[in-house]
Amino acid sequence: MSSNENRNDRLTQLLSEDASSFLRSVRLEMSNLLNSTDESLRQKLGEVYAAAIVLSEDKDQWQTFCEQEEWQTFRQKPKPTDSHRQNALRYAVRYAVGFDGLTSNNAAYRYNRALEGCWKQKVPPAEVADIIKKTGGVEKMKQRNVQLAKAISVQLTTNYFAEKIRDISSGFDALLLIRFLPAKGSEREAEILAGVAAKDRFPDLKKFSEQFCEWRLRQADGDGLAD
């Protein structure tokens, strides 16, 4: 059995009854690791992440978690609602590092930022520690996610080119002519007007040029984009 499988079994056992109690026990050990970047911290963050998943999926445990005494005097406490439960990672991290002023505030921000990429991608808990290590540590992982958070999210409208790209199951390179539609907050909708894609190699620039010329002709004729 691999180390990840052993770790997964251990977490499943630890979290099977009470994620709140588990996070409280983690807090006692986290206080000695706030400035650490070693294996112990990576493992603890993986365990906090696992507890967050349990809380996000189990409404009863989430209700119990929201009722814990430590939240009563904390201004940004979790609420027993689905919207707050979807952000279980942020609250689990805060609960695990504690509520002791600036040091805990900084640690909560740092660890939450470091883990949020895994959370969005639904990474299995047993893989989190290894991902932190491969990324270069908690701080580098945090910085990468901060930069990604500043990026604009683009949603492609469905048409011939978008469908073709979705049909390519593995890596590909593409040359695309894209029109961005009016902004809606941090998200932008865009439409592929012309393009070519090639699997595992660079696309043919000549083919893209031909498609681009065809698109220009359609525009001149008033036909728009034909799928």
Summarised one tens digit per residue, pLDDT across range 203-227 is 778 888 887 888 788 777 765 444 3
158 secondary structure, DSSP code: P
Q: In this structure, which amino acid lies at residue 172?
A: F
CA–CA dist 227, 223 (Å, integer): 11
Q: What is the mean pLDDT of residues 68-91?
A: 92
CA–CA dist 156, 137 (Å, integer): 33
181 secondary structure, DSSP code: P
Question: 71: part of which helix (H) or strand (E)?
Answer: none
Closest CA to 189 of 205, 178, 202, 200: 178
- With left for phi above 0 and alpha for psi between -120 and 50, is residue 225 left, alpha or beta? beta
- 223's CB contacts (< 8 A; 6+ apart) are none
- Tell me if the pTM is above 0.85: no
Q: What is the mean pLDDT of residues 171-200?
A: 75
The predicted-structure confidence for 89-140, as pLDDT tens digits, reads as follows 999 999 999 888 888 899 999 999 999 989 988 899 999 999 998 888 888 8
- Comparing 156 with 57, which gets the higher pLDDT? 57
